[in-house]
Amino acid sequence: MILHEPALPAETVEQLAPAGRGLILDCTVGTGGHTDAICRAGATRVLGLDRDSEVLPLARKRLNPWLDRVELIHSDYRDLDTVLDARGIETIDGALADLGHSTFQMESEGRGFSFGRADPLDMRMDRSQGTMLGDLLDEVTPEALADVIYQYGEERHSRRIARSIVRARDDGTLTTTAELAAAVRRSIHYRGRFRIDPATRTFQALRIWVNRELDELDVFLRLVMNRLTAGARMVVISFHSLEDRVVKHTLRDLEKSGAPVRVLTRKPLRPGVDEVARNPRARSARLRAAEKVA
């Protein structure tokens, strides 16, 4: 069983302070790592959402000791209003969103998130809906693809990479993630001299594009803060600068606008050396938190 080790679990519990509160919302429950930590810290009721239905059975197993206080729901966090309204829930007493993709998704064959295997060009976090990466690439122009790679991957070689990907598509040699990664590497004459694989930024960009990860993030954060009771907190963990920028500016804008919001983390919390050694995928995690004030 592939279980995702959560980033910054101790910091999450400290900022969320779940003990003695009512309903805590885990908007991206994944395989249940953060919810497990929250329950251990005294949470009495947790609603766990995830858009990836394939992780929920794993979460259920991990959270077996806490199933009397945890409800798991297959839902995109952007549909939070619908989920809460369907249950007659008006307010929540804490919320967590871990915006990264999971170890389960990276290591599961056939999902298309990893460039270390010859997987289909999928990348959907919810395989029951949405458009596969391969289908999007079939229709995209080099110019539009370059914009995606530049905007979502902050990749300075975006035009060169886009041309190489489209050339491989037109040649019929773009059917797997391995071939996609090879097209990226060819475009910048990769010889193994880079600190990270040159396909990393492009794969990030394409994943964000497929899953619309930045769409309505600002709206979601405002919605959550509006639903919080006085004194309740929201914790958001991001893994790249694009997400973190949206989180930072949204929370600060709310605070400066006079909304009943207090930012708790002027600078993001980052994992320490010990955590990164234990969980290398946590190295880029950034945690920000805010509190609803009376």
First to last CA, the chain: 44
What whole-number percentage of the chain has pLDDT above 90? 87
Q: How many structural domains is the chain composed of?
A: 2
- Tell whether 237 is covered by a domain: yes
Question: What is the pLDDT at residue 106?
Answer: 78
Q: Considering 211, 238, 262, which residue would you say is the last residue of a domain? A: 211
Q: Considering 159, 193, 211, which residue would you say is the last residue of a domain? A: 211
- Tell whether 53 is covered by a domain: yes
Residue type, position 202, single letter = T
CA separation for the pair 82, 219 (Å, rounded): 14
CB 29 within 8 A of CB 72: yes
- Tell whether 54 is covered by a domain: yes
pLDDT band at 192 (very low <50, low <70, confident <90, very high): low
Same domain, 159 and 122: yes
Q: How many C-beta neighbours within 10 Å does residue 49 have?
A: 22
What whole-number percentage of the chain has pLDDT above 70? 97
Residue 23 has pLDDT above 60, yes or no: yes
Same domain, 95 and 36: yes
- Tell whether 104 is covered by a domain: no
Same domain, 193 and 264: no
CA separation for the pair 236, 238 (Å, rounded): 7
Distance of alpha carbon 263 from its chain centroid, rounded? 21
Radius of gyration of the chain (CA): 20
Same domain, 51 and 178: no
* Lowest-confidence region among 72-76, 137-141, 165-169, 195-199: 195-199
Same domain, 176 and 249: no
pLDDT band at 36 (very low <50, low <70, confident <90, very high): very high
CATH code of the domain covering residue 284? 3.40.50.150
- Tell whether 2 is covered by a domain: no
- Tell whether 226 is covered by a domain: yes
Same domain, 95 and 236: yes
Print the domain residue range for 57. 9-99+214-292
Q: How many C-beta neighbours within 10 Å does residue 258 have?
A: 7
Q: What is the pLDDT of residues 214-234, one digit of tens each?
A: 998 999 999 999 999 999 999
Q: What is the pLDDT of residues 107-150, one digit of tens each?
A: 888 899 988 899 999 999 999 999 999 999 999 999 999 999 99
Q: What is the pLDDT of residues 271-292, one digit of tens each?
A: 999 999 999 989 999 999 999 9
- Tell whether 107 is covered by a domain: no
- Tell whether 152 is covered by a domain: yes
CATH code of the domain covering residue 206? 1.10.150.170
Same domain, 130 and 262: no
Residue 1 has pLDDT above 60, yes or no: no
Q: Considering 187, 211, 235, which residue would you say is the last residue of a domain? A: 211
Residue carrying structure tokens 């458009």: 131
Residue 70 has pLDDT above 80, yes or no: yes
Same domain, 91 and 231: yes
**Run of H or E residues at 236:** strand 233-238
Same domain, 205 and 142: yes
DSSP state, 89?
Answer: -
Calculate the alpha carbon distances from 74 to 30, 55, 83, 125, 250 in Å: 10, 9, 10, 12, 26
Same domain, 95 and 237: yes
CA separation for the pair 115, 75 (Å, rounded): 27
Same domain, 52 and 193: no
Residue carrying structure tokens 């990479």: 161
Same domain, 94 and 127: no
